[in-house]
Amino acid sequence: MMFRRGLTIVVMSIVAVATARAQPGARPELTSLGFLIGDWTAVDTPPGESGEFTFSLGVQDRIMTRTNFANYAARDGRPASRHDDFMIIYGEGSELKADYFDSEQHVIRYVVQPRSDHEVVFASEAKPSEPRYRLSYTARSDGTLAGQFEVAPPGQPDGFKLYLSWMARKRR
């Protein structure tokens, strides 16, 4: 009995030390991304297209996730399609990071750069032989959320060109 009690105290001490090292100050907060939280529906989409996404907190508010889908109508000889993706946003060291996964087998790792309490930019690392990606969200005064996804070609890490943009409104 004495051994178990002593072991419990040692384990509790290790947990207390690990928890103290992980307290705020060492890890970034997700509070600056609060404007993203909610269920969103794409608005002003082309005919036959639709989409929805949700940002939510998890793991005792230590991570944020985004689930997304977009339906695309058949057009220009292409069949109708659906795109699904998932992104997890988390603190690592003193940075916010995000990992993105989609139904087309893309994986993108981002550094998250909050610009204000209503704007954020997700930027992938520049690698000489790979494209670079930038995803941005801006909350507008009319209650909509503007998003855009840009791609820079390999060898031109700052040569971003718009690939996709959208507007969304919170579902009530």
pLDDT at 95: 92
Q: What percent of the chain has pLDDT over 70?
A: 83
The CA distance from 129 to 116, in Å, is 32
Q: Rounded to 5 degrees, what angle do the CA atoms 164, 166, 171 make? A: 145
Cα–chain center distance at 56: 10
More confident residue, 8 or 72: 72
User: Per-residue pLDDT for 5 more than 70?
Assistant: no
Cβ(114)–Cβ(123) below 8 Å: no
Q: Tell me the mean pLDDT in the region 129-142.
A: 97
Taking only the tens place, the pLDDT of each residue in 61-93 is 999 999 999 999 998 899 999 999 999 999 998
DSSP code of residue 46? P
Residue showing tokens 């998250």: 112
Q: Residue 84: what pLDDT? A: 98
- C-alpha 86/C-alpha 123 separation (Å) is 16
29-170 adopts what CATH topology?
Answer: Lipocalin (2.40.128)
66/105 Cα distance (integer angstroms): 17
Q: Is the pLDDT of residue 19 over 50?
A: no
Please check the confidence at residue 124 and state whether its pLDDT lies above 70.
yes
Alpha-carbon distances of 133 from 62, 127, 149, rounded to whole Å: 25, 11, 7
Spell out the domain ranges in the chain.
Answer: 29-170
| Least confident piece of the model among 10-14, 37-41, 147-151 | 10-14
Whether 125 shows a pLDDT value over 90: the answer reads yes
Report the C-alpha gap between 124 and 97 in whole angstroms.
10
pLDDT at 156 over 80: yes
Mean pLDDT of the chain: 86
